[in-house]
Amino acid sequence: MTYALTSYFGELLKNIEPPQNRQYAAVEVSERVREFLKNHEDFPTSDPYSRLSGSYRRHTAVGDIKDVDIIVKVDASLEESPGLVIRNLKNTLNSLPDALGLKGHSEIKQSRRSVHVYFEDKDFHLDVVPAIVPKEIDQKLYVPDKSWGKWIESNPIGYCRHLSELNDKYNGKVVPLIKLVKHFRDYNMKIMKPKSYWLESLVVYHVKSGSIDMSQPIAEIFRDLMSAIYNKFAPLLGRDDEATPHIPDPMLGNDISWNWDRTHFETFMNRVKEAKEVAAKALETGNQEEAIKLWQSVFGDEKFPKAVSKTSSKLSDFAPGVAFVGSSGLINPRPSPSVRTVRSQPTTFYGDY
């Protein structure tokens, strides 16, 4: 007998969701910052002014939400200095803590492509990214790169739509798979972690390439994904030229992992190899208790349940037309106050917010 432990994975996905208080903090802080920038006369912006971006916007965040990305539409041209635009944004944001009435230390500094804001009293980070938007904000836009001294093509809002459509195409399994991979990384790698966007792009690549069967239970999909990632990148490990993977951006196709450190890549591959082997054993064992222990070694016994409640294992108790489906693919008897949900049918777009 193969134990896919579908209900256990449903419980795991609930356990790795960001806490409600952190979701509220993300909403509150980001909305107030966006309003501040929209109304600030010293930093010209124009409609639609700003959009949330990053994993919080895409509902692929796991654990304690620590940061939110904001794309700000600036009135600038590609001839203007990227460093100057970032510096002007930083000067504007210097007055943000006082304007928001936030107490405690706040750190505001320029980074390569954004202005980073840290609020100590909320233990919260913001990356505010200025962008030149030639057409619509969910199409190709340009973000500044201070180090390279030029504007770089990007499409973060369009990717949100693309991921939503891909998630719908595969019956709400893509976003949960991304969450599992991120939690797997966080549990197994305390340092040298690959970036979250790299992991998302890896998942999207393998889903779209057809290298994994998305009709399977999520446990088997995770096993096959770990095998697919290892098999694709294992040849690089035998090379002596410090080679690392080229992970394509889901929207633009450019290599987003060009700066992946070789040692960090090797550490990631070791963890992936371990995961694919343990996952295979968990699915092949005929003992449910042994399967649970094996999965706990991959995801941690704090998050992967030893047992599931009657409620979580009987999702069919939710009557048709009454259940609410979140972007993670989990079913709830009532809409969440903090996570966008839809009644009965999965959403096709996370929305402009």
Is residue 348 included in any domain, yes or no?
Answer: no
Among the residue ranges 141-145, 196-200, 236-240, 331-335, the one predicted with the least confidence is: 331-335
Looking at the fold, whether 51 and 98 belong to one and the same domain comes out as yes
- The whole-angstrom separation of Cα 144 and Cα 86 is 8
Looking at the fold, whether 96 and 189 belong to one and the same domain comes out as no
- The whole-angstrom separation of Cα 274 and Cα 292 is 16
Looking at the fold, whether 53 and 81 belong to one and the same domain comes out as yes
Looking at the fold, whether 197 and 76 belong to one and the same domain comes out as no
Helical packing angle, 262-284 and 218-237, nearest 10°: 140
Looking at the fold, whether 58 and 205 belong to one and the same domain comes out as no
Looking at the fold, whether 10 and 24 belong to one and the same domain comes out as no
Name the domain count of the chain.
2
CB neighbour burial string for 300-339, b if at least 16 within 10 angstroms, e if fewer:
beebbbeebeeebeeeeebeeeebbbbbbbbbeeeeeebb
Share of the chain above pLDDT 90, in %: 61
Domain boundary among 140, 155, 170: 155
Is residue 351 included in any domain, yes or no?
Answer: no
Share of the chain above pLDDT 70, in %: 86
Q: What pLDDT score was predicted for residue 308?
A: 85
Looking at the fold, whether 197 and 295 belong to one and the same domain comes out as yes
Among the residue ranges 15-29, 244-258, 272-286, the one predicted with the least confidence is: 15-29
Among the residue ranges 174-183, 229-238, 318-327, 331-340, the one predicted with the least confidence is: 318-327
Is residue 231 included in any domain, yes or no?
Answer: yes
pTM, full prediction = 0.84
Looking at the fold, whether 10 and 68 belong to one and the same domain comes out as no
C-alpha triplet 7, 12, 17: angle, nearest 5°: 130
Looking at the fold, whether 272 and 137 belong to one and the same domain comes out as no
Is residue 353 included in any domain, yes or no?
Answer: no
In this predicted structure, the answer to whether residue 102 has a pLDDT above a threshold of 80 is no
Is the distance from CB of 67 to CB of 33 less than 8 angstroms?
no
Q: How many CB atoms lie within 10 A of CB 19?
A: 12
Domain of residue 28, CATH code? 3.30.460.90
Q: Find the domain containing 267 and state its range.
A: 6-17+159-343
Domain boundary among 124, 155, 186: 155
Q: Between residues 102 and 206, which one has the greater pLDDT?
A: 206
Looking at the fold, whether 172 and 138 belong to one and the same domain comes out as no
Summarised one tens digit per residue, pLDDT across range 238-264 is 887 889 999 999 999 999 999 999 999
Looking at the fold, whether 95 and 224 belong to one and the same domain comes out as no
Is the distance from CB of 117 to CB of 128 less than 8 angstroms?
yes
- The whole-angstrom separation of Cα 192 and Cα 199 is 13
Summarised one tens digit per residue, pLDDT across range 280-332 is 999 999 899 999 999 999 999 999 999 886 444 433 332 233 334 443 333 34
Looking at the fold, whether 275 and 215 belong to one and the same domain comes out as yes
